[in-house]
Structure 1
């Protein structure tokens, strides 16, 4: 099975594209909604929460996990891959969302001016800066934290005047720098794609993060048969949340565009 993990609902934007592109596999989606958002947490807390989530998914039979959370990808992924995974689950893999987006951004940017918006933790970690610079040191990278957007999305305020005002304020310093490419460095933000595109303007390429991650995953599975052959292909999907399953079912169904049923679990 393939596990998809996020601190809340944002990862559903990624999962929606993954299951559309790769429909034959079996999936488990886990949302740590009880402890969301991760954006204001310490690096130590994010690491522990992400490790607990990964343990849960591996114990449920997943051989591959996608951390569909930029904060967890920036604060916990590398340490999990380098220290925890080799000793605890040496035959399993964990992938994040930052590298796939950085790779595409470098290709898309004509004038080497890339903007990144995300949670406070993701921006302060400079994970995108490091990944982008590793691929092209001549890039000009401009970032801005937008901490208010995750709670607005979690409350379902997708088409709201207040939300548009927050996006405008968030993008203003990046537009002043004449960016030509924008990375939405939080998996919640694609739910506001129309608003981001409208406010960013036609000269700015706003990357479709969920689609990019899904395509990169498909490419990864083609290249790594040792992982792909271990994945269950029964087309089953299980949803788990650490908070109210009723709330998750209601909001999750809106984000996915289909009815879902989840089970509440406790991470340890």
Structure 2
């Protein structure tokens, strides 16, 4: 936050100096400072209103028509205020009356162009930064969802285990409890096979008391499946589905 304040503060100080410097080519420096002191705060206020309200609520929400209309309205309002400032300033007594009309036109033109050119970098910078933050948040949430999909969260003996589905060899049911067999351990949790079947689409129900991970099925017949070195029985009502999923003809 402090870094952003420093960046924006530095920008507007430089913008003030540049505004006065460029105006010195068409008019007195004192007059340029007068215009800068009156118009730059207005431009900054409009720019930050645009950044923090118009862009996120309209542009990012794809409400393009309202965004275009409001942008045009805000720009027209700023330009009209600046025209009034110029006219009021030139209503004061001046020495060179001959150059009065030309000076007004130059001042109005200069303020219009400088308003757009000075506001654009701030708006573009903040819009891109906000868009980048939004994209990062979307990617973060997407990664979290994928991570949750890729891991099964199980409570067992007062601990919470996060299990990668690919590590599961097979699951066997004992009443209200399921024994989840992993390469190096067995986790017992209070959960039905029906619930686990919904949570693990990559696992195959082969028996009313067994689920297996097809990735680790070494061989199978119509009666059993070999998972690593363990023989898992195939239930009569599951045979057709098992053969259809695993493919080929059972030995």
Question: Greater CA radius of gyration, 1 or 2?
Answer: 2
TM-score, shorter chain, exceeding 0.5: no
TM-score category by the smaller chain?
A: under 0.3
* TM-score computed with the length of structure 1 as normaliser: 0.26
Higher RCO (C-alpha under 8 Å, 6+ residues apart): 1
* TM-score computed with the length of structure 2 as normaliser: 0.28
By percentage of residues, which structure has more helix?
2
